[in-house]
Amino acid sequence: MRAVVSKDPRASSRYRGRLPGTCAAGGNDGMPRAQLARLILLLGGACVLLNAPVRGAADREALPDEPQLNATATREIAFAAGQPEPVRAPVAAPQATPPSEPAPPPAAQQMANAALQAAKREHTVATLPTAGKPGDVRLVCMRTEVVTRGRWIVPPLPVYPFSMWNRWLDENAPKATHCAIDWMDEHGRWWHTEIRGFEHHDARYRVGQGEFTGSGVTVYGVFVLPGRSDPEGLEVVLDEPVSCDYRVIEAEARKYGRLDKRRGEPGTGGRGKENVGLGGPSFKPSQNSNTFVRYLLERVNVKREAPPGAIGWNTVPHFPYSSDADAYGR
């Protein structure tokens, strides 16, 4: 029997105990030693990585000094072990911090804002109806705070007439009302007339004026204004029809406080029963807009009792005049 000779070079004694692709000491027929050492290192690291238990966040915190492989070394070990390179999850962009809401205002400011809004709503709601027909005339009476706000006009002096006026204000101010007259002209437009503070309304609608008694200071104006009377957010006590000619009402209103002459001029004499061009009656607590409204109604022969709280209604107005009335035949 013939002996079979193996052709595998690894069967010979020359290559016994050597790895494929290697060479004897100092040989150059295989892989260089540096590459071989690197391959062994990579294979060993892969085995360690595959066999190492997975640590959680608690383990990582417990071992703060454990050396960490960088990203490049991890990819090389995984590639040498035949594993695909892991896909990195996209890093979410940091969320923008929403702007903080402004701090609520202090309690006092909240209360003030609430009161202001309530006053605005009340002022908007408290309006008079505009239905009617040409020639309609209406007497309007509404609550007022003018007497309370104007207390400073009357000084608290214990002498007459200031002491009398202060007593009168103490009794009547809390229940005071303010009267005006409204009418619709032949074109279907509403107008109204009243006495207010000199600059309370637009100067274009001021048709007369008057002084504070004994002072020479102009304090009120007579106004003829478009639209119905404005209650200014306060209670409307009365809104009733009046049978009269609105044209006479308007003419008398424009005459009541007319100021177009100087004292001593012809025609300025009289007894104070009507305006002679020297302005309206001097203002005092008991001679006011209610006095003016009653005067207008009497000029058109309308007589009525005082509406509720209409202080000054029964006062007979006294107009200024020149003291030398007899010289001008009056």
How many angstroms from the chain centroid is the CA of residue 330? Answer: 59
130: pLDDT strictly greater than 90: yes
Q: Is a pLDDT exceeding 50 seen at residue 64? A: no
54: phi > 0 → left, psi -120 to 50 → alpha, else beta; which?
Answer: beta
Tell me which range, 4-8, 96-100, 230-234, is most confidently predicted by mean pLDDT.
230-234
Domain boundaries of the chain, sorted by first residue: 130-328
Number of other CB atoms surrounding residue 214 within 10 Å: 9
Instruction: Output 182 or 165, whichever has higher pLDDT.
Output: 182
CB atoms within 10 A of CB 281: 25
Q: Which helix (DSSP H) or strand (DSSP E) does residue 35 occupy? A: helix 33-51
Give the pLDDT of residue 269: 87
Q: How confident is the model at residue 238 (pLDDT cuts 50, 70, 90)?
A: very high
pLDDT digits (tens, 9 = 90+) for 169-185: 777 666 789 999 999 99
pLDDT at position 20 over 50: no
The C-alpha angle with vertex 94 and arms to 90 and 97, in degrees rounded to 5, equals 160
Range 94-113 average pLDDT: 54
Q: What is the mean pLDDT of the chain?
A: 74
- Tens digits of residue pLDDT in 194-235: 999 888 899 999 999 999 877 788 989 999 999 999 988 888
